A and B are shown apart, each in its own frame.
Chain A
Amino acid sequence: MNDLDGASNPAIETKLWLAQRISAVILALMVFVHLGTIMYAVRDGLTAAEIIDRVGGHLGWALFYGLFVAALAVHAPIGIRAILAEITALPRKRIDLLCFMAAVLIAYLGYRVVRDFYALGSIA
């Protein structure tokens, strides 16, 4: 919708597209595992203790969810960016800033959870 404010840069746009597809492949594998885990975990009801018992202090899960969060922080904001550019009249620079902030927010909130779950290992 915004042809005038800043011509699009072919190299940057192509890299973002590629980043979203690569993160999509990573996420596809991880979401598959995640869905399986959900089905397994909810059978006897979900409690804080159960989650902590399963995931807390476990390096494998920490690495898995760490990569999961990183892929999400790449994947989601690029998608939102394309949607905002298509259906709103916001200037491109504003959209880029918003989506960058979204990426930082997702990465921060997610990283905090993964870190704290892993830190439980040293307590337990």
Chain B
Amino acid sequence: MSDQMLTVLVWRGTADKGRYIEYKVRGLENHTVLDVVTYIQRYLEPTLSYRFSCRVGMCGSCAMTVNGKPRWTCRSSVSKVAPGGKLKIAPLRSMKIIKDLSVEMSEFFDKLARAEGRFHPTSNRQNDFNHVKPDSVKRRLASDGIECIGCGICYASCDLVAWKSNYLGPAALNRAWTLVNDVRDGAHRKRLNAVAGDAGCHACHSQQGCVESCPKNLNPTASIAGLKRVTAIAVLKGELD
């Protein structure tokens, strides 16, 4: 499909006041969706707002809704996601639109903090190193979820996030699960209290939209299931408030 004319619909404006504007872009074989958006901004629509940084799938800032699905645009090649040459690009779902394709992500990051997604150290430089065996069960469980880049794609694909505005969401809960399995962390009980309940892991219905869409192939549903189990044990021990 080299040198195909692409028909690109791009969301312009805010959630209350906005619409799709059509652009024609000459697509090349190796174009990514981000390349197309960048082309539009540079040559057709200088006022178009969007967010990107690394362009190589590390930073997690270029996520958009592409033809109805949340994707990392820098690693989504046009030939794969839009073989017919038609692109419809919108901001991520469940986040407030600032302008055009840029969304307000502070709620998303606040929820990482609310889920106690922060490491609470139990030792300092005076202490000996912690010894965590690479093949220990907990280290492996943590490793399974650790590669999250915070792009918000799972969050945008989750119906529960859309239905319950206080639901912490897959990314925050996945992050919490990696710390639950971090033997060096000292805020176990506090974190379990933060993630239990119907705004936390127990709201999840295992729809697995997050698993389906995660560009890093992580499995937040499995992480959330892990949290459900450890919080259930905690509540039986009387460790939840």
A and B touch in the complex (CB under 8 A): yes
Query: Using Cβ atoms and an 8 Å threshold, which residues of chain B touch A11?
Result: 196, 235, 240-241
Return chain A residues, CB-CB under 8 Å to B199. Answer: 3, 8
| A95–B160 CA distance with the chains assembled, in angstroms | 18
Are A82 and B235 in contact (CB-based, < 8 A)?
no
* Chain A 6-50: CB-based contact to B (< 8 A → 1; otherwise 0): 001111111111100100000000000000000000000000000
Contact status A13-B165, CB under 8 Å: no
Residues of B near A18 (CB, < 8 A) are: 232, 235-236
Instruction: Report yes or no: A1 in contact with B232, Cβ–Cβ below 8 A.
Output: no
Contact count band on A: 10 to 19
Distance between Cα atoms of A82 and B203 in the complex (Å):
8
Is B165 touching A14 in the complex (CB atoms < 8 A)?
Answer: no
Across chains A and B, the number of contacting residue pairs, with CB separation under 8 Å, is 54
> In the complex the two chains form, what is the Cα distance from A70 to B222 in whole Å?
30
Q: How far is the CA of A1 from the CA of B167 in the complex (A)?
A: 9
The verdict on A116 contacting chain B, using a C-beta distance below 8 Å, is no
A8 to B200: give the CA distance in the assembly, Å: 10
In the assembled complex, how far is the CB of residue A14 from the closest CB belonging to chain B, in whole angstroms? 4
Of chain B, the residue at the smallest CB distance from A9 is B197
Q: Which of B104-132 contact A (CB under 8 A)?
A: none
Smallest CB–CB gap between B11 and chain A, Å?
25
> Which residues of A, 43-69, contact B by the 8 Å Cβ criterion?
none
Name the B residues within 8 Å of A17 (CB-CB). Answer: 202, 228, 232
Q: Is the CB of B164 within 8 A of A14?
A: no
CB neighbours of A15 from chain B (8 A): 235
A85 within 8 A of B: yes
Q: Which residues of A contact B200 (CB under 8 A)?
A: 10
- A13 to B165 Cα, complex, angstroms: 17
Q: Are B165 and A1 in contact (CB under 8 A)?
A: yes
A25 to chain B: closest CB distance in Å? 13
Nearest Cβ distance between residue A51 and chain B, in whole angstroms? 36
The B contact surface, by secondary structure, is helix
Tell whether, in the assembled complex, residue A14 and residue B231 are in contact, meaning their CB atoms are under 8 Å apart: yes
Query: Which residues of B have CB within 8 Å of A10?
Result: 192-193, 196-197, 200, 231, 235, 240-241
B202 touches A13 (CB 8 A): yes
A8: chain B residues at CB < 8 Å are: 197-199
- Known A-B contacts A8-B198, A8-B199, A9-B197; the reply to A14 vs B235 at CB < 8 A is yes
B163 interface residue (CB < 8 Å to A) = yes
CB B116 to nearest CB in A, in angstroms, measures 12
Q: How near does chain A come to B32, taking the closest CB pair, in angstroms? A: 36
Chain B hits for A109, CB < 8 A: none
Closest B residue to A85 by beta carbon equals B198
Chain A nearest CB from B224 CB (Å) reads: 12
Q: Assess whether B241 is in contact with A1, with CB atoms less than 8 Å apart.
A: no
Q: Complex Cα distance A36/B89, Å?
A: 52
Is B166 an interface residue when CB atoms closer than 8 A count as contact? yes
**Best-buried of B165, B198, B231, B241 by chain A (most CB within 10 Å):** B198
Give 24 A-B contacts (CB < 8 Å), ordered by A residue: A1-B164, A3-B199, A8-B198, A9-B197, A10-B192, A10-B196, A10-B197, A10-B200, A10-B231, A11-B241, A13-B196, A13-B202, A14-B197, A14-B232, A14-B234, A14-B235, A14-B240, A15-B235, A16-B202, A17-B228, A82-B198, A82-B203, A85-B164, A86-B163
